[in-house]
Copies of this chain bind each other. A is one copy, B any other.
Amino acid sequence: MADLSALLSPQSVAIVGASPDVSVLRGRTLRVIRRHPYRGRLYPISRSHSEVQGLKAYPSVADVPERIDLAVLIIPAQAVPEELERCGRAGVKAALILASGFAEESGEGRELQQQIREIAARHGLIVCGPNTEGFANTAAALCPTFSPAMDELPSGLVPEWRTSGRVAVIAQSGGMGFAFFDRGRPKEIAFSYVVTTGNEACLEGFEVVEHLLDEGRTDVFLMFLENIKNAATFRRVAARALSAGKPIIVAKIGASEAGRRAAISHTAALAGEHVVYRAMFRRYAIVEGTDSEAMVDIANAFAVYRDRLPRGKRVGIGTASGGGGGWLADACVAAGLEVPELDAETRAKIDTHLPPYGTSQNPVDGTAQAIRQIGYSELARLIASSDRIDAVIMVVTARNTETFERERANLFAVARETRKPILMWSYTNPIPAAVKLLSEAGYPLFTNMHTCARAIAAMADYATRQRAQMAQVEDMQVRTGHPPLPVAIGSRPLCEYESLRVLKALGIDSCRAELVATADEAVRVAGDIGAAVALKIQSPDILHKSDLGGVELNLADAGTVRQAFDAIGRKARAARPTADVHGLLVQAMAPAGLEMIVGMRRDDVFGPMIMVGMGGIHAEVVRDVALAPAPLSVSQALELLGELRGSALLGGMRGQPPADTQALAQLIARLSELAVEHADSIEVIDLNPVIVHEAGRGVSVVDALIVPRCAGNDVTK
C-alpha cells in the first residue's frame, strides 16, 4: 500500500493559483493554511504576482528551489492536466486538486479526469481529488483547504488536554467532512485528520484509512461515503481496522433514489444498492451512522472507552430527574438495550443515600438531594458496581458547572477506575465549561438521549462482533478442486432440471425428479415415484414457468398426469411458440415444511452476495430478506438466518416442530462456495422455494434457476 505521507504530512507545499484576494477560494486557501502554525515550507505559485500574502511567489512549481512534497491545485479544471504534468516533471510527490468541473460534469469533465489518472500513473504522483475541499492534519497544523470550518476557530485544532482517542474523518464530500470537525470540536473531540477525497479519480477513502492505520495515530474513523470503487481495498482495510480494534463509523448516502441521483451528479459516484453496502458493513462490524451529530457523539464514546467496551447491553441509569430517567429508559429499550432492575445488594448500598421519594430500582432516581450529597460520579460508581449492569448513563444538567466542580476529584477518579463505560446525557443545553470539565474527566457527554443509547448499543455490538468474527474476518479459504460442474455454464440460463443437477453435484439434494419428453414417459415416471407429482415445463426461454401455465401440481394418478402434460404443452406453445423446450420435469411433491427463498446475485462491486428470505405470503407483505457476501461458513449462514424477522418460525412456532435449520445453513454455505468458485460465470442463482422440513429431515429445493453472467440475460422474461 502506498505511503501517503507526502500528501498528508508534507515538508513543503506549493499552492498553485494562490491569490492575494482572500475573497476568492484561491486566496482563501492560503489564508487558511497560514492561520495555523504549520512548520513546513510554503510556496505560492502565481503567474501574476511575485509575492502573495507576504510570501515570495514563484511562476511555476519548476521554479521552486526545492523538490515539493505536495502541490495544492486551485486552478480551472481545464488547466489541471497541464499543471499536473508540470508537477510530475518537477518531481512533486503528491497533488491535491481542489478544482471542480470534472467527472461530476458530463462529457469534457470525464475526459479531464481520465487524463489526471494517466498523468498520475505516469509520474507515480499521489493525487487526491479533484473536486475535494482539501484536508487537515492537526498534528502538523496543516490545513490546505478553503473550508470555513478550518478558517476561524474559536479554539485550537485539538483540545490540549486530550492525549489519546483520536478520530479521523475521511469524506468524499468536503462540506460534510469538515462539518464533522465543526460539530465535534466543540465537544472536545480530538481529530487527527479530516481528509476529503472528492471525485476520487485516484485516491480512495479506504486507502486513506489504511495509511492512517499504518501511521497509528488514529483510534476511530468517521467516514462519509458516496460509493466504494475497489472492493478488495475495502475488504482488506476494513478487516485490518477490525483486527486492530479501531472502529469505523460510516455514513453511506444513496439509501433512496433521490440520494443516489444526488451522488451521481455530485461526485460521479454510481451508488450501488444500499442493502449490499449494509451487508458488507455488517460483515466487518462497521457502524452505520445516521447523521453527523450522532456520528461524532458515537465516535467520541468509542474514543474514550475503546479499551473498555461494554460486555453486554444492560444499562444502569442514574438521575436526579425521575421524568428524564424514565424517558431515557424508553430510549434505551428502543435502541435494543436492557434496563434491568438492580440486584438487592447494590440497591441496599444506594438506598442509604436516597430520600424516601427516590428509588434505586433502575432507573435510579437519586433525586436532587442524593446528587447534592454524593454527586453524579459516586452514584455512577455504585450503579456500575452491580453485576447486572454493563454500562451506565447518568442523566445530568450541564447548564452550569456548579455540581460538577464540587465533585471534580471524584469525577476524574471514577472515570479512571471504572471498567464499564459511563456516559452522560444532559437534558439541558450544556455550557462549554461543563463540556470541557466532563470530557476531560473522561465522560462522553451527549445532548441527544437516543444517540447516547445507540452509542452503548453500537459499542456492545462492536465488541461482540469483534470477538466472534476475528477468526472469520479474513475471507474464508474457499474449498476449490470441486469436480467440474455436470452442466456447463454457458450463455443461456439453466433450466430447473439442469440447475438441480448442478446443485446435486455440490451435495444439495432435491425431490426425486426426471425429465420426460412424452405423456407416456411422464405417466411411467409418476408411477415409479408412487406419490403425487408436479409437472413443469423446461425451457431456457421460459424462466417464470407458472406465469405461463407451465406448472401443474399435486397430480395423483395417470389420468391427471396425462391431462396436465397436454395442457402444459398447449399453453407453452400458445404463449411462446418459438421456445426451445427441453421437455417436462416430473417431480415428486415435496413433503410439508417452511417455505424459504435462497439465492445469489452478483454485485458489480462486491461480487457474489447470498440472499435468504422467508417464502410464501410472509415474503410478499414484509420484505424479510437478509444478505451477506459469499462465501459463508455454516455458522455465518446460521447468523444470517437469525437476521430474518421470521427466523422464529424456523425454531418451531405455532406448535410446529423446529425446522431443520442446520440443513438449510449447510445448503446456504454450499451455495456460497458455488457462487465464489464460479463468480465470473454466474450472475444469479434462485432457489425458490426451498422447503425446510422438521429437524433431521433436511430441505427440499423445489425450484432452481441459474443464470450465467452474460449480457442480455433478462431474468424477467
Q: Which residues of A contact B (CB under 8 A)?
A: 100-102, 104-105, 109, 131, 148-149, 152, 171-176, 178-179, 182-183, 186, 224, 226, 251, 253-263, 265-267, 290-293, 317, 320-327, 329-334, 339-341, 355-357, 359, 361-363, 365, 367, 397, 399-400, 427-429, 447-450, 614, 616-618, 620-622, 645-646, 648-649, 653-654
Apart from the given pairs A175-B320, A179-B427, A621-B653, 14 other A-B contacts in the complex at a CB distance below 8 Å: A109-B357, A173-B321, A174-B321, A178-B428, A226-B323, A257-B333, A258-B317, A258-B332, A262-B329, A266-B323, A266-B325, A266-B326, A617-B618, A621-B622
The verdict on A621 contacting B620 (CB below 8 Å), with A291-B448, A323-B253, A327-B251 known, is: no
CB-CB under 8 A from A266, the residues of chain B are: 322-323, 325-326, 365
CB-CB under 8 A from A257, the residues of chain B are: 333, 339
Q: Are A105 and B356 interface neighbours, CB within 8 A? A: yes
CB-CB under 8 A from A621, the residues of chain B are: 614, 618, 622, 645-646, 648-649, 653
Q: Are A224 and B323 interface neighbours, CB within 8 A? A: yes
The verdict on A447 contacting B293 (CB below 8 Å), with A259-B327, A329-B259, A330-B256 known, is: yes
Q: Quick one: closest B residue to A274, CB to CB?
A: B330
Q: Quick one: closest B residue to A146, CB to CB?
A: B368
CB-CB under 8 A from A320, the residues of chain B are: 175
Q: Quick one: closest B residue to A262, CB to CB?
A: B326
Q: Quick one: closest B residue to A340, CB to CB?
A: B258
Q: Are A397 and B148 interface neighbours, CB within 8 A? A: yes
Q: Quick one: closest B residue to A546, CB to CB?
A: B655
Q: Are A104 and B179 interface neighbours, CB within 8 A? A: no
CB-CB under 8 A from A429, the residues of chain B are: 182-183, 186
CB-CB under 8 A from A178, the residues of chain B are: 428
Q: Quick one: closest B residue to A261, CB to CB?
A: B361
Q: Quick one: closest B residue to A450, CB to CB?
A: B291
CB-CB under 8 A from A428, the residues of chain B are: 148-149, 178-179, 182-183
Q: Are A427 and B176 interface neighbours, CB within 8 A? A: yes
A101 to chain B, nearest CB (A): 5
Instruction: Name 6 A/B residue pairs within 8 A (Cβ), A-sorted.
Output: A173-B323, A175-B324, A224-B327, A266-B322, A617-B617, A620-B648
CB-CB under 8 A from A339, the residues of chain B are: 256-258
Alpha-carbon gap, A251 to B323, bound state (A): 11
CB-CB under 8 A from A618, the residues of chain B are: 617-618, 621-622
Alpha-carbon gap, A595 to B19, bound state (A): 74
The verdict on A176 contacting B323 (CB below 8 Å), with A292-B427, A365-B266 known, is: yes
Alpha-carbon gap, A172 to B321, bound state (A): 11
Alpha-carbon gap, A171 to B622, bound state (A): 38
Q: Are A363 and B262 interface neighbours, CB within 8 A? A: yes
The verdict on A293 contacting B171 (CB below 8 Å), with A329-B256, A365-B266 known, is: no
CB-CB under 8 A from A649, the residues of chain B are: 617, 620-621
A545 to chain B, nearest CB (A): 14
CB-CB under 8 A from A333, the residues of chain B are: 255-259
A335 to chain B, nearest CB (A): 10
Alpha-carbon gap, A325 to B148, bound state (A): 18
Alpha-carbon gap, A365 to B620, bound state (A): 37
Q: Are B357 and A105 interface neighbours, CB within 8 A? A: yes
The verdict on A148 contacting B253 (CB below 8 Å), with A175-B324, A183-B429, A291-B450 known, is: no
CB-CB under 8 A from A341, the residues of chain B are: 261
Alpha-carbon gap, A120 to B267, bound state (A): 68
Alpha-carbon gap, A100 to B321, bound state (A): 12
A357 to chain B, nearest CB (A): 5
A446 to chain B, nearest CB (A): 11
Q: Are B175 and A334 interface neighbours, CB within 8 A? A: no
Q: Are B399 and A182 interface neighbours, CB within 8 A? A: yes
CB-CB under 8 A from A255, the residues of chain B are: 330, 333-334
Q: Are B450 and A290 interface neighbours, CB within 8 A? A: yes
CB-CB under 8 A from A254, the residues of chain B are: 326, 330
CB-CB under 8 A from A363, the residues of chain B are: 258, 261-262
The verdict on A322 contacting B265 (CB below 8 Å), with A256-B330, A333-B255 known, is: yes
Q: Quick one: closest B residue to A107, CB to CB?
A: B356
Alpha-carbon gap, A254 to B323, bound state (A): 10
| Residue with the greatest number of chain B CB neighbours at <10 A, chosen from A176, A267, A339, A427 | A427
Alpha-carbon gap, A104 to B355, bound state (A): 11
| Residue with the greatest number of chain B CB neighbours at <10 A, chosen from A361, A363, A429 | A429
Alpha-carbon gap, A149 to B361, bound state (A): 28
Alpha-carbon gap, A416 to B332, bound state (A): 42
Q: Are A176 and B400 interface neighbours, CB within 8 A? A: no
CB-CB under 8 A from A259, the residues of chain B are: 326-327, 329-330, 333
CB-CB under 8 A from A293, the residues of chain B are: 447-448
Q: Are B321 and A175 interface neighbours, CB within 8 A? A: yes
Q: Are A175 and B226 interface neighbours, CB within 8 A? A: no
The verdict on A175 contacting B326 (CB below 8 Å), with A105-B356, A621-B645 known, is: no
In-complex Cβ contact of A322 among B101, B267, B325, B654 (8 A): B267
| Residue with the greatest number of chain B CB neighbours at <10 A, chosen from A262, A325, A365, A447 | A262
Q: Are B361 and A322 interface neighbours, CB within 8 A? A: no
CB-CB under 8 A from A149, the residues of chain B are: 399, 428
CB-CB under 8 A from A323, the residues of chain B are: 171-176, 224, 226, 253, 266-267
CB-CB under 8 A from A253, the residues of chain B are: 323, 326-327, 329-330
Alpha-carbon gap, A429 to B296, bound state (A): 13
9 shortest A-B CB distances, which residue pairs?
A173-B323, A266-B322, A262-B326, A175-B321, A256-B333, A258-B339, A258-B329, A259-B330, A265-B359
A205 to chain B, nearest CB (A): 12
The verdict on A324 contacting B258 (CB below 8 Å), with A447-B293, A617-B649, A618-B621 known, is: no
Q: Are A226 and B326 interface neighbours, CB within 8 A? A: yes
Alpha-carbon gap, A322 to B293, bound state (A): 19
A398 to chain B, nearest CB (A): 11
Alpha-carbon gap, A646 to B183, bound state (A): 41
Q: Quick one: closest B residue to A196, CB to CB?
A: B323
Q: Are B175 and A397 interface neighbours, CB within 8 A? A: yes
A578 to chain B, nearest CB (A): 26
Q: Quick one: closest B residue to A331, CB to CB?
A: B291
Q: Are A262 and B325 interface neighbours, CB within 8 A? A: yes
CB-CB under 8 A from A105, the residues of chain B are: 356-357
CB-CB under 8 A from A617, the residues of chain B are: 616-618, 649, 653-654
A298 to chain B, nearest CB (A): 14
CB-CB under 8 A from A322, the residues of chain B are: 104, 173, 262-263, 265-267
Alpha-carbon gap, A324 to B226, bound state (A): 11
Alpha-carbon gap, A293 to B105, bound state (A): 39
Alpha-carbon gap, A614 to B621, bound state (A): 11
